[in-house]
Amino acid sequence: MSVPRRPHALLTAPLLVLALLLTGCASGTAPAKAPVAAPGQGAPGPESDAASVLREPAEAEPAPGPAEIPGLGPLTRAQIPEEARQAFVVTGEDEDANRSSAVLYSREDPAEGWAPAAGPWDAHNGMEGWTDHHVAGDLRSPRGVYTLTDAGGRLPDPGALLPYDEHPRFAVDGEGFFGEPLEGSFDYVVAINYNRTEGVTPLDRTRPLGLERGGGIWIHVDHGGPTQGCVSIPEERMEQLLRTLDPALNPVIVMGDAETLGL
């Protein structure tokens, strides 16, 4: 009598091994893919979108204001009349010094502000420096902002725009503080409207503040040394200044030591 064979016994074992192997490959859980939401819907989008969400908007730089005259502080700038379009700035080395530097500024467009038009030029001022309270004979130049309306000189008009008075009374002789000759110092002058009446020759001796407060403070030709209270610049610069200062632009002079002008 024959024993019946178990069907497919030889095939079953290999299939079982294969099934176990396949089960083992799938037993580890695959990492879930992070959901990607649209930006602005509770989750950041791609990296570039996340950066744009966190980035603060750049602040716009404020528009620059009108340019100011270098070296002048708010107190000095406040003294310059609004209608002034030319400013001759004379800056002394210090309160007791008689050497200074001069620069002419213009303000053609108030929205753009001041711009240098000529200079810097070497200049002299009063022998003893500067003062806020000039008196006759103190040998100091008066600090402040003063209008410029009248000119003149011993020599013929070089093409001045301000009213110009040619007169022999502008002749001068003698010596300066260091023995330098004064001849020719008043060949060209511009009157500084300190203690004087505007609209008249620089030779006019009217003193609204009184004679004790001095007067005859001019811009004139430099003679190589300090003055008694005036401001002086080289002759060729005086000619240039006379051809540039324009009464239609309401020119002023801003004068004083650097420290005070910076206030």
Q: What is the pLDDT of residues 251-260, one digit of tens each?
A: 999 999 999 9
Domain assignment of residue 21, yes or no: no
Domain assignment of residue 12, yes or no: no
Domain assignment of residue 30, yes or no: no
Structural domain containing residue 132:
85-261
Query: In this predicted structure, what is the pLDDT of residue 52?
Result: 47
Domain assignment of residue 169, yes or no: yes
Work out how many domains the chain is built from and give that number. Answer: 1
Domain assignment of residue 172, yes or no: yes
Angle, CA of 169, 126 and 263, to the nearest 5°: 130
Overall pTM > 0.85: no
Query: In this predicted structure, what is the pLDDT of residue 55?
Result: 60
- Of the candidates 170, 150, 174, 173, the one whose C-alpha atom is nearest the C-alpha of residue 162 is 150
How many CB atoms sit inside 10 A of residue 256's CB? 27
pLDDT at 117 over 60: yes
Kindly indicate the confidence band of residue 27, based on its pLDDT and cuts at 50, 70 and 90.
very low
Query: In this predicted structure, what is the pLDDT of residue 64?
Result: 74
Tokens of 159: 């093409």
Kindly indicate the confidence band of residue 58, based on its pLDDT and cuts at 50, 70 and 90.
low
Domain assignment of residue 20, yes or no: no
Query: In this predicted structure, what is the pLDDT of residue 173?
Result: 95
Query: In this predicted structure, what is the pLDDT of residue 34?
Result: 43
Query: For 59-114, where are the alpha helices, taking DSSP H only?
Result: 74-77
Domain assignment of residue 199, yes or no: yes
* Averaged pLDDT score across all residues of the chain: 85
Question: Please, what's the b/e burial string for 214-243 (b: 16 or more CB within 10 A of its CB; e: otherwise)?
Answer: bbbbbbbbbbebbbbbbbbbebebbbbbbe
What is the secondary structure of 188-224 as a DSSP string? SEEE--SSS-TTS-TT----TT-GGG----EEEE--S
**Is beta strand 218-221 parallel, antiparallel or unpaired with respect to 189-191?**
antiparallel
The CATH code of the domain that includes 252 is 2.40.440
Domain assignment of residue 129, yes or no: yes
